[in-house]
Structure 1
Amino acid sequence: MRLPLPRPRSLAGQLFAMQVVLVAVVVAGCAVFAYVTDRAQAEETARRQATATAAAVADSPSVVAAARSDEPSALLQPYAESLRRHAGVAFVVIMAPDGTRWTHPEPEQIGRTYLGHIEQARAGRTYTETHLGVLGPSVRTVAPVFDGDRVVALVSAGITIDKISEQVREQVVALLGMAGAALVLGGAGTYVVNARLRRHTHGMNATELSRMHDYHEAALHAVREGLVMLDGRRRIALINDGARELLGLDEGVVGRPAAELGLPAPLTGALLSSEPRVDETHLTADRVLVVNTRPVVGGERRGTVVTLRDRTELQALSGELDSERGFTEALRSQAHEAANRLHTVVSLIELGRVAEAVEFATAELELAQALTDRVVDAVGEPVLAALLLGKAAQANERGVELVLTEDSRIDDGLVPATLPARDLVTILGNLIDNAVEAAGGTPQARVTVTVAARTGDGELLLRVGDTGPGVRPADRDAVLGRGWTTRGPGRGLGLALVGQAVTRASGTLDITSTREGGAQFTARLPLPEPTAVPTVLPEAALLAAARTGGTDGGGRPSAASATGADPGRAPGTDPAPAPGVTPHGAKEVTP
């Protein structure tokens, strides 16, 4: 049977035990130090007190006078006992220079020899020592009594070690009481602090906390989505690599207030909001982000957790899908209309009106072909041409005429690779969709589109105007913001994406009014400088150059070939025509 291993003590419990032991050791050390210090101070006080008493007795004239008498004990014993009681010492012994006691607290000791060292006192020096006497160990001072220059007596005053120890014991009791109180207060404070720590660490031990930190770091950097944590003061407390990339922030952003990161105002407002946000779409300079926020609450607001998902690619694909869906819908509509026209043609033929059937069919065909030819002729960029044809069909289905202006012209290959087709579809497609919706239901509903590559000005011009109600001047600054719309909730992202795409291309977007009062959006996107293209000669000129002397080395005919001169013929005669080419460049007709 395996006994379950005890769970390691929590970090708070370990700290509590360690702090209690530390407090106990500190208190015990302080108590021992205080005891030793008090003991030394008590002994020093006893030495000073004994020395002062002995010196006072030795300087007394009555002692000198008694030392000259025949019965010094009778004169000095009452004086010595009175002084002993008032001075607070254990004994005052006055003796002859040979050590014979004249006074003593115990009268039977009078006349006996003093127990201690008196050699230095007999030599005229005051001497202090600790010695075992009749009353026990004591701290004593022996001082000489002078009569002129002659030592006539000796005085010894002292305090017993027991009395010193008794004084120290009284201090030790008070010291132990203070040490116990300090230990209790220290333990209580440690318990309170560790209880708070236990709540914050959720009772986990050091190993569990270390493991959680490792998991936290691994998860933080493994998540591709952006994760931002704000503290209670709305400062960046934590941010992962994905969030830094999505928001365009550097590594030194931790600790900075969220309001000072330079993010768009709507996104900053979402980060600072006290209310949770769920799947909100926000725009940065070059990304579409889905933002979720949730406050961290634990008795008080501790901060906010923010998750960021990149929806840029998804939004672009969604736009392309909408365009494809529009194309499909346009084809369905055209198929439906074609079926109606075909039924009409068949019915006319069945009625014997063949000429009218032919006229009806060719008129519809010419009308559809004219629009296709106009778009294909003017717009050589395949993506834009397909977009315009699809949008024209959608507009026609909604009763709106889509007109491509006469000055529209984009040759194939003029749009550089720096302007992705996806961005062009985003800009032009959203502008046309908004214009068709705005013009729908108005008299003479019309959307006018201009697409022109102006190489001289170095710009690609995309202009869309409508006959709708237009945009008020006061709203023109807010039109490109996320959520601005006049068509109810859930809309308002298209123009924001247009502004984002124009900004990515380093272009400009102007909002004005048409002559009919509708809105006109003009996007100008920079084109690179055209590169010099070497002159390519026509085939006939090259053939002539080959016959008459070739080119001048730079891809151009030589002087002789340019003037038609033939070095091998006489001046004034015409050159022989090339096979299959008339002298005027017309093809020969063989009968």
Structure 2
Amino acid sequence: MRLPAPPRPRSLAGQLFAMQAVLLVLVVAGYALFAYAGDRRQAEEAARRQATAVARSVADSPSVRAAIGTADPSAALQPYALRVQRDTGVDFVTIMNPRGIRWTHPDRTQIGRPFLGNISRAQHGGTFTETYTGTLGPSVRAVTPVTSGGRVVGLVSAGIKVTVIGRHVRVAALLGVAAGVLALGAVGAYVINARLRRHTHGMNATELSRMHDYHQAALHAVREGLLMLDARFRVALINDGGRELLGVPREEDVVGRSVADLGLPAPLTGALLASGPRVDEVHLTAERVLVVNTSPVSGGERRGTVVTLRDVTELQSLMGELDSERGFSRALRSQAHEAANRLHTVVSLIELGRSGEAVEFATAELELAQALTDRVVAAVGEPVLAALLLGKTAQAHERGVELVVSAGGGLDDGLLPPALPPRDLVTILGNLVDNAVDAAQGAVPARVTVTVCAEDGVLVLRVADTGPGVDPAHAELVFRRGFSTKPAGPGGRGLGLALVRQAVHRHGGTLTVAEGGTGGAVFEARLPLEECAGRAVAGAAGAGGGS
């Protein structure tokens, strides 16, 4: 037997509506009760004033004083009291002697009987009001003395029934106003909560809290950068990965600031400020290569932009190394093909009985290859750079370009500090050589000259070509990502020199381009070895302090 699913808790909007409805009913009920009490109090006060005025006017009437002095006061006072009662709207007018024996009453059977109520203050010449239950029921009454010659000769009491006072309270009006306020409040609460229900998608408080917890955990868990911008391109949210990739300090509060004020490179800022979506765009910061995707958030109107950032710095470096290895392997295949042709030539010379010429031909090729290796190693003692230049020499030769390694000197094995990794050297020198070979291909003569040396604590990487050179107007633009004078291929162009400048600046160096003495362009990267060494020592100290 399948058990029924437990009922889903009421949504947050429904809970708020119920709470607002209860509060609204309580407020309106309290208002109605307060208004009723105030209105009743005012009605009672008005009744007291009316009763006091009627009682005093009767007590001050000369005809009343004259009738009190007769042998039968009731005969003259009873009709008078009934007439005053009818004309003034009070419920009773009772005239009595100083001892409280009634001379008049609306009920004739009560005449001659004692007055029910307090009369002592009036017997001493005072006027007062009270609420008392007499023969006609609860009433608000006033009692005042009738004086003649300075003495009290009678008492007058005028009163209004409490039930009559209650009828004067505007209960129906109060209930109508309360019902109208309650209906208006209910409609307003319903409209507000309907809007809230749309914004919360009908979720209850527990679901919203759980979603917020998951949201916060996901933001801090993912390594990719996430940036949310509002409709005015101000930062609404940024996670830890976004701060790290964009170089924003963790202690700096950037929420509410415009993207243009974050100090990002101009191309990246332009991508973030774009109104349309961006898909897998590559952008460079000071130290990283980022893949940027943007997606506008809209719901009838523009509400903001969601930006995702991925760090492909290491991937881009590995791709550069892979491209170099691929080029090197192609050069090796070409050399293997040429070596096979030379081997067939040697075998053929031996078969023809011309062994001397076969030995001479074979040794000449070996001496040429060894001479090339010796020349490169002699010029560059650093093994990583020497291996890179040997591979680039073979690649350039395959493309019809002569690559010459100039003996700058001063760069021996072990001179480079650990803070200058081989990968960065491959990125810098490899891209500069590839760019120079592309420029020199087809020129006469087609030559690329590479100089690697150490001068006064500075590592100098200089690459000159015999190509068309660089327009002085483009001397700064060539280092920007996306700039290229060659047609774009499937993967795009204009990234190599931008990566070179990024790597150079990361190590505190400089990168310049100038016109060569015999034409072409000369790119020069200068990396301070002392600073690199200092960084290595600082990094070692930081690593030791954290162990």
TM-score (norm 1): 0.81
The 5 Å alignment of 1:424-435 reads 424-435=425-436
- Which gives a bigger RCO, structure 1 or 2 (Cα 8 Å, sep 6+)? 2
Answering whether residue 17 of structure 2 is matched by residue 16 of structure 1, we say yes
Residue 507 in structure 1 maps to residue 509 in structure 2: yes
Q: Is the 8 A contact 1:458 1:527 kept in 2?
A: yes
Instruction: State the 1:493 CA deviation.
Output: 0.9
Aligned amino acid, residue 506 of structure 1: G
Identify unmatched segments of 5+ residues in structure 2.
534-547
1:90-105 matches, within 5 Å, as 90-105=91-106
Give the Cα separation in 2 of the matches to 1:191 and 1:530: 68
Letter in 2 for 1:285: A
Which SS does the other structure have where 1:486 is aligned? Answer: coil
> Shift of residue 239 of structure 1?
2.7
Deviation readout 1:433-491 (Å, 9 max, x if unpaired): 1111112222222222221111xx22111111222222223322222222111223311
CA contact (8 A) 1:408 1:450 kept: no
Matches within 5 A, 1:377-388: 377-388=378-389
Are the equivalent residues in 1 in contact too, given 2:379–2:406 (CA < 8 A)? no
1:394 matched to which residue of 2?
395
- Secondary structure at the aligned position of 1:405 is classed as strand
Aligned length, in residue pairs:
527
Q: Residue type of the partner of 2:453?
A: A
State whether structure 2 residue 291 is matched by structure 1 residue 290.
Answer: yes
1:154 and 2:159 are equivalent in the alignment: no
Percent identity reads 70
Q: Which residue of 2 aligns with 1:124?
A: 125
* Structure 1 CA distance for aligned equivalents of residues 479 and 94 of structure 2: 112
Q: Match for 2:316: what amino acid?
A: Q
Aligned position for 2:545: none
Q: Structure 2 CA distance, aligned partners of 1:513 and 1:519?
A: 5
Give, as a single letter, the amino acid of the residue that structure 2 aligns with 1:150.
R
Q: Post-superposition shift, 1:15?
A: 2.1
2:520 to 518, 521, 535: 518
2:236 alignment counterpart? 237
Matched residue SS, 1:471: coil
Give 1:255's aligned amino acid.
Answer: V
**Is contact 1:458-1:529 (8 Å) kept?**
no
* 1:61-140 to 2 correspondences below 5 Å: 61-68=62-69, 80=81, 83-105=84-106, 113-140=114-141
Alignment of 1:354-365 (within 5 A): 364-365=365-366
Question: Which residue of 2 is the match for residue 192 of structure 1?
Answer: 191
CA distance in 2 between counterparts of 1:67 and 1:380 reads: 144
Give deviations 1:85-104, integer Å, cap 9, x for gaps. Answer: 55443233333324344555
Residue in 2 aligned with 1:183?
Answer: 182
Query: For residue 494 of structure 2, what is the amino acid of its counterpart?
Result: G
Q: Deviations over 1:58-90 (max 9, x none)?
A: 344554455445675666566655554554432
* Cα 1:484–1:164 shift into 2, 3 Å: same
Q: What's the counterpart of residue 439 of structure 2?
A: 438
Contact 2:508–2:531 under 8 Å retained in 1: no
Aligned to 1:463: 462
Q: Which runs of 5+ in 1 are unaligned?
A: 532-591
Q: Which has the larger Rg? A: 1
Shift of 1:349: 6.7
Structure 2 CA distance for partners of 1:3 and 1:452, relative to 1, 3 Å = closer
One-letter amino acid matched to 1:210: S
Farther-moved stretch of structure 1 (349-358 vs 135-144): 349-358
In structure 2, how many angstroms separate the alpha carbons of the residues matched to 1:250 and 1:379? 40
Indicate the residue corresponding to 1:488 in structure 2.
487
Mapped partners of 1:436, 1:498: distance in 2: 16
Moved more, 440-449 or 91-100: 91-100
Quick check: 1:81–1:92 contact (8 Å CA) kept in 2? yes
**Which whole-Å CA distance do the structure 2 matches of 1:3 and 1:417 have between them?**
67
Q: 1:84–1:420: structure 2 CA closer, same or farther, 3 Å change rule? A: same
* CA distance in structure 1 between the aligned counterparts of 2:164 and 2:249, rounded to whole angstroms: 77
1:311 Cα deviation (Å)?
0.7
Which amino acid is the alignment partner of residue 223 of structure 2? R
Q: AA paired with 1:528? A: E
Q: What letter matches 1:194 in structure 2?
A: N
Note if contact 1:227-1:242 (Cα within 8 Å) is conserved in structure 2: yes
Cα offsets for 1:305-338 (capped at 9, x unmatched) = 2222211111111111111111111222222333
CA apart distance, 1:109: 5.8
Q: Deviations over 1:332-358 (max 9, x none)?
A: 222233344455566667778777766
1:6: Cα distance to partner?
Answer: 2.2
The answer on whether the counterparts of 1:142 and 1:156 sit within 8 Å (CA) in structure 2 is yes
Paired residue for 1:253?
253
Change in CA separation of 1:76 and 1:488 when aligned onto 2, cut-off 3 Å: farther
SS of aligned partner of 2:420: coil
SS at match of 2:469: coil
Q: CA offsets per residue over residues 487-544 of structure 1, 9 Å max, x none?
A: 233111111110111011100111211124422211110012999xxxxxxxxxxxxx
Determine if contact 1:225/1:307 at 8 Å carries over to the other structure. Answer: yes
Instruction: Give, in whole Å, the separation in 2 of the partners of 1:330 and 1:431.
Output: 19
Separation in structure 2 between the aligned mates of residue 87 and residue 462 of structure 1, nearest angstrom: 118
Residues 18-61 of structure 1, C-alpha deviations (whole Å, 9 max, x = no match): 22222222222222232233223322221222123323333445
8 Å CA contact retained: 1:402, 1:447: yes
- Partners of 2:513 and 2:85 lie apart in 1 by 114
Per the alignment, residue 424 of structure 2 pairs with: 423
Aligned to 2:541: none
Deviation, 1:387, is: 1.4
Query: AA paired with 2:269?
Result: T
Contact 2:417 2:532 in 1 (8 A): no
1:361 shift after superposition: 5.5
Deviation at 1:288, TM superposition (A): 1.1
Distance 1:307 1:472 in 2: 36
Question: CA, structure 1 residues 465+65, in 2 after alignment: closer, same or farther (shift >3 Å)?
Answer: farther
